Structure formats: C-alpha cells, structure tokens
Structure 1
Amino acid sequence: MSFDVQLKRMPGNEDVELPRKMSELASGFDLYAAVTQDIRLQPGERFLVPTGISIAMPAGLEAQIRPRSGLALKHGITCLNTPGTIDADYRGEIKVLLINLGHEAFTITRNERIAQMVFQTVPVVNLLTVDELSDTARGAGGFGHTGTK
C-alpha cells in the first residue's frame, strides 16, 4: 500500500532538512528542529520545538510523533506526549513537545534530529451504545490484574 502525503516548508525554513528515513527499512521519518536560536533544555524542562514543515494526508491516515531512541538513551530527551497524533485534517506546523528527563542540560540546535514521524492507517470505527457487553474471562480486571511481575 502506498499513500501520497504533501509536505510544505514554512517560510524562513528553507535551510531546515526535510523529514527522511535514515535507512531503507526504517518505519519513521526523522524530524529536524527549526529553532531560530539554540534552546538549552534543563533537566525537567519541556519545550515545543518547531519543525518548519506542515503536511496534508489523505483521510484514513495519521502521523504519529515518537521519540528518537538515541536521544532518549544518551541524554534522557523524549517526547512528552508519546505518540503525538497528527490528524489528517490538520494543516498547521508540526511541533514536537520535548522534555529533558536526563540529569544534565541539553542544547537543541537548528537542524538537530529531534523525533521521528511514523504514518499509520486509521480504521473507520462506529461506536455502538448497548445495555450489556459480552463476558470475557478477564471481565473488568484492570491495572495489574494479570499479575504483579
């Protein structure tokens, strides 16, 4: 299956790298910071990082914004709402909410790879209101219901 997604650079961001896959079989497109000046993210701080792009997707598709594993492992930098969802009807600039969970300050520079964008199909779902739900072995068992380990 193949989908066409339109991508538009925001004015003033002609020098910012466009999203791209870093290997042939990668599922995510790396996103780059379009900050106008370096951002020093202290431990515990969060910042909404612009990417300098917007997209138009067909109905039935969503984009998910996910952390980069290298930033998380090496620096404790991750996305605060993971995955962040971009709906097919959104046309604004894609921004990434980063948080520093590490122990040292981290500097975000222009054109730094900050996150990845993964596209997923979205099924059509009809919610039906009913008086009773079917029974299962689990029933209403919630958090920790299947064991403590």
Structure 2
Amino acid sequence: MEIKIRSERGYLPAYETDGSAGMDLRAALKEPVSLEPGERTLVPTGLYLELPFGYEAQIRARSGLAIKRGIGLVNGVGTIDSDYRGEIKVALINLGKDPFVIKDGDRIAQMVVAKYERIAWKVSDNLEDTERGQGGFGHTGV
C-alpha cells in the first residue's frame, strides 16, 4: 500500500528489520531536548500523513527505550486519524530515574498503520450469556 507523506527533515518512518510491524519515528529537533524524570513533552517528527479512510496510524513506545531508560508515551498509544493533516508529534514521558536527552534524528517511537472497522450500535436490553460472564480484572488468576 502507498500512503502520501511529507517530511520537513527527510526522516521517513522506516522498518528496522524484515519482520517489523512498526516503523521507527525520528525526532525532528533544531536543538536537543532534555526530558527530566517525571517530565513529559511533545516531540516533533516533521512528518505529515494522508492516510486512506478506514486506516489509522498507531504511535507506540519503543521497547528498548522503555525498558532501558523508562521512556514511554503519555497516552499509552496515540492514534493518527485518516482526516488529520497536522504534524505528527510524540507525547513522551520520562518514567526513569535519570534525565534523557533527545537529539535530532533520534528514534523516539514506532508507528503501525492498521485498518479499522467503524461500527453502528444496536441498543439492547439483553446480552448473550457466555462462560466467562461478568468475570474480569483477574478472575482467572494471576
């Protein structure tokens, strides 16, 4: 599939291995940004997308940054909708113990493009019974 993209800095999302589902996103910064422990910031990527209707781009944390440095996404997973035309920015948070410096071109997150379905609600007074029923939040054990 081809998707229109515009890049202010030339940093295009890229798959790092043949089996990668996510493409790495890079920071597009004029100067480094220091993210202190507990601090959050929006990091520009310089990217603008034109996704087809029925597709979204999911922005996710990079596992290496998360486990090694405590760097995650403020909102868990970000969603870029097909009708959004603004710059993609990544909402990072430093959950680690040390400051984290982000430099221009650093890989800061990953992006997965996915198809989605839109639904129509059917209001009902009853839902079908299942074996699980209303069991949730650890009802099957740890």
If the length of structure 2 is used for normalisation, what is the TM-score?
A: 0.93
Correspondence for 2:6 = 8
Whole-angstrom CA distance in 2 between matches of 1:97 and 1:35:
14
Residues 24-63 of structure 1 correspond to what in structure 2 (within 5 A)? 24-63=18-57
Q: How far is 1:115 from its partner? A: 0.3
Q: Which stretches in structure 2 are left out of the alignment for 5+ residues?
A: none
Question: Does the CA contact (< 8 Å) of 1:43 and 1:100 recur in 2?
Answer: yes
Correspondence for 1:82 = 76
Q: How far is 1:82 from its partner? A: 2.1
Q: Deviations over 1:41-93 (max 9, x none)?
A: 11111111110011011111111001111111221111121221111111111
If the length of structure 1 is used for normalisation, what is the TM-score?
A: 0.89
Question: Does the CA contact (< 8 Å) of 1:40 and 1:105 recur in 2?
Answer: yes
Whole-angstrom CA distance in 2 between matches of 1:47 and 1:21:
25
Question: Does the CA contact (< 8 Å) of 1:29 and 1:117 recur in 2?
Answer: yes
Question: Does the CA contact (< 8 Å) of 1:80 and 1:99 recur in 2?
Answer: yes
Q: Structure 2: which amino acid aligns with 1:6? A: K
Residues 88-127 of structure 1 correspond to what in structure 2 (within 5 A)? 88-127=82-121
Q: How far is 1:127 from its partner? A: 1.6
Whole-angstrom CA distance in 2 between matches of 1:103 and 1:95:
24
Question: Does the CA contact (< 8 Å) of 1:78 and 1:99 recur in 2?
Answer: yes
Q: Structure 2: which amino acid aligns with 1:8? A: R
**Coordinate RMSD, CA, aligned:** 1.3
Q: Which stretches in structure 1 are left out of the alignment for 5+ residues?
A: none
**Matched positions, count:** 142
Whole-angstrom CA distance in 2 between matches of 1:30 and 1:105:
22
